[in-house]
Amino acid sequence: MISKTELPFTKSEPIDFLETTKAIQLMIKEQIVGLELIYGELNTINKIIEVMYKHLKKHTNGRIIYCGAGTSGRIGVQDGSELYPTFGWPKRRFNFIIAGRTKALTSSIENSEDNLEDAENQLKKLKISDKDIIIGISASGSTPFTCYVVKEAKKKKALTISISNNKNSKIEKLSDLSLILNTKEEIIAGSTRLKAGTVQKVTLNIISSLLMVKFGFVKHGLMSHLKPLNKKLKKRKEIIESFYKSIN
């Protein structure tokens, strides 16, 4: 069965038949359509945040480990890598398993999503345990690399969460908690770097940011545990500290 994200877009003429202004308008409209799907998943997102919080609070050495291939993998790495400088989330409590490894962050290594041997090797290197949380991200919901990692991590009693863009997918059935953002057809068929990727990014932002809020890394809407790693952040830290002094 072909996943919806692979099917041709039929709501308009093909994008390459449209004048540029019309194409831009269509792309914006479809991005909004995708984002509006998140409203319908508020209860699921809330549950994921609560379960993650309780799990990581109980297991103080537990890690958030993002897993994916291609665009989905890069989105996961981007979200997780910002947790330390923004919130002060310990570096040792974040990691990722990405098809093609770090090389895939800057290059497209398309055949890597079928490499289950590499998935197994990365799992072994990280020594996944019941303390950890695996977030498997897959637009199709059937990516072999990501599904394998989620399946094997679950065997090791890790908490497994999946984010996908197709209903009744393989990864949905493999994970403990699943979030389905049914974005359907892309304007350029199969290009899930578009609507599906945008919705994945926003959803991960929501989950990780509110998780950090629950852990107390945000006070009065400010980054209370910010790591000032450059001039801009040092200045931001000064502004934050000045604000806290003014209200105490």
Q: Are the beta carbons of 172 and 164 closer than 8 angstroms?
A: yes
Residue 195, token pair as written in the block: 């609507």
- List beta partners, residue 122: none
Active-site entry in 6, 30, 41, 82: 82
Neighbours of 110 (CB within 10 A): 11
241 in catalytic set:
no
Both ends of the chain: CA-CA distance in Å?
61
Q: Are the beta carbons of 146 and 140 closer than 8 angstroms?
A: no
- Using alpha carbons, select from 42, 208, 41 the residue that is nearest to residue 133: 208
Active-site entry in 6, 13, 19, 113: 113
> Which regions of the chain does DSSP assign to beta strands (E)?
64-68, 94-98, 133-138, 159-164, 177-180, 218-219, 222-223
Please name the residues in contact with 84: beta carbons below 8 A apart, sequence gap of 6 or more. Answer: 90, 91, 94, 227
How many whole angstroms separate alpha carbon 216 and alpha carbon 219? 7
113 in catalytic set:
yes
Name the residues annotated as catalytic.
Answer: 82, 113
